[in-house]
Amino acid sequence: MPVPAIRCGKTGITFLVLLFLALTLSCAHFSHELNSLAVSGLPGSVEIPSVPFYPQEAYQCGPAAMAIMLQWTKANVSPQDLIPKVFVPAKKGSLQPALISAARRYNRLAYPIKGVEALLKELAAGHPVIVLQNLGLQWFPRWHYSVPIGYNLAKGTVILHSGKEARRRMSWTLFMRMWKRADYWGLVVLPSGQLPASADEQSYLSAVLGLEQARQFKGATAAYTAALERWHSSLGALMGLGNCRYALGNLIGAELAFRHAAEAHPSCGASFNNLAQVLAEQGRYTEALQMAIRAVDIGGPNKPLYLQTLQEVQAIVKTGPE
């Protein structure tokens, strides 16, 4: 019978020795990291109450973890509902983008995070997080999703819903070793309209763009509105808000958002272009024409689109609306 890759004997023993050396050296810094975080203004201990728990069956940690997150956001979803949406049979597991996609299909914001600081910030703000971990080793990976719901800095523990166990307490060091092997990937899932505690403008807007992509225009509208409360006059948020309102058929709301964008960012042609389109659809052709000309004058990489808008408006002005 062929023996897999590693053969016993001297090579094996040397390998084991090297392995332990490598592990010992690579993991030495985690406790330092925790000590430095302890002084950065985070509460010393957190456990988010009332995070529901679903024990995982067989390979179904993805659907179970996602069901926990979605139920926590008050979406009525069971792990069974999620299996066809996130589980990839040939891989016997769930891929990260599938979790992101599933959250959006339930009109929830999916915000990926990376690293300890973001994780602790989210937990401190009362947001559970899905994390990907490699429970095995680099060369023998056992990928697993679990849901941290709290931590205790003084005791050096993380509290998580994982596998068949609710509220498992795990040493910070073990948790970090296994999280590091998955490149510190985590995912926050929130009702649309709420901001993640660790949100930065660009990453948050990209996450909301995902909601828009999934055609969850109402959710995306709420999420862009929330962005504008934090990052006033953000071009991406204003344009996104306008586009979502437009997609929902709210021409007047869209006009307001594009006008705001045009005032706050007069050197960006896109807002004038979209404003022209929205005005034309309201039958306000003279104003539309002015805005379309403005967009073309500003130019930029989207100029072909601006010219198209201008030609369409000019054609209507010449021949009159159909």
Partner 1 sequence: MNFLKSMRKPVAGLVIVTVCAFSISWAPAHAAMVSTDKILKQNNQNLDRERLNVLLDRSEVRKQLEAWGVTSEEAKAWIDSLTDQEIAEIVARIDQMPAGGSAIGILVGGALLVFFVLLVTDILGYTDVFPFVKGQ
Q: Confirm or reject binding of residue 14 to partner 1 (CB under 8 A).
A: no
| Pairing between β-strand 143-152 and β-strand 129-134 as defined by DSSP bridges | antiparallel
Local structure of 75: helix, strand or coil: coil
Could you tell me the smallest distance in angstroms from the CB atom of residue 49 to partner 1? Answer: 25
Do 124 and 43 meet the contact criterion of CB atoms below 8 Å apart? yes
Q: Confirm or reject binding of residue 315 to partner 1 (CB under 8 A).
A: no
Q: Confirm or reject binding of residue 79 to partner 1 (CB under 8 A).
A: no
Nearer to partner 1, 51 or 238 (CB): 238
Do 316 and 289 meet the contact criterion of CB atoms below 8 Å apart? no
Could you tell me the smallest distance in angstroms from the CB atom of residue 28 to partner 1? Answer: 12
- Among residue numbers 229 through 258, which ones bind partner 1 (CB under 8 A)? 235-236, 239-240, 243, 246
Provide the greatest CA pair distance for the chain. 88
Report how far residue 116's alpha carbon sits from residue 194's, in angstroms, rounded to the nearest whole number.
21
Tell me how crowded residue 128 is: count the other CB atoms within 10 A of its CB: 22
Could you tell me the smallest distance in angstroms from the CB atom of residue 48 to partner 1? Answer: 21
Angle at 212 between CA 305 and CA 246, to 5 degrees: 55
CA distances from 291 to 147, 266, 280 (A): 50, 11, 10
Q: Residue 148: what are its φ and ψ, rounded to 5°?
A: -60, 135
Could you tell me the smallest distance in angstroms from the CB atom of residue 214 to partner 1? Answer: 4
Q: Confirm or reject binding of residue 97 to partner 1 (CB under 8 A).
A: yes
- Among residue numbers 23 through 42, which ones bind partner 1 (CB under 8 A)? 23, 27
Q: Confirm or reject binding of residue 96 to partner 1 (CB under 8 A).
A: yes
- Among residue numbers 165 through 224, which ones bind partner 1 (CB under 8 A)? 170-171, 173-174, 177-178, 182, 202, 205-206, 209-210, 212-215
Could you tell me the smallest distance in angstroms from the CB atom of residue 40 to partner 1? Answer: 25
Per-residue HEC secondary structure of 56-84 comes to CCCCCHHHHHHHHHHHHCCCCCCHHHHHH
- Among residue numbers 108 through 137, which ones bind partner 1 (CB under 8 A)? 132-137
- Among residue numbers 132 through 171, which ones bind partner 1 (CB under 8 A)? 132-137, 140-145, 163-164, 170-171
Q: Confirm or reject binding of residue 266 to partner 1 (CB under 8 A).
A: no
Residue range at the interface with partner 1 (CB under 8 A); choices 11-19, 116-124, 188-196, 314-322: 11-19
Nearer to partner 1, 9 or 320 (CB): 9
- For 184, counting Cβ atoms within 10 Å of its Cβ (0-12 exposed, 13-18 middle, 19+ buried), the class is middle
Report how far residue 298's alpha carbon sits from residue 152's, in angstroms, rounded to the nearest whole number.
55
Q: Confirm or reject binding of residue 88 to partner 1 (CB under 8 A).
A: yes
Report how far residue 132's alpha carbon sits from residue 184's, in angstroms, rounded to the nearest whole number.
7
Nearer to partner 1, 93 or 128 (CB): 93
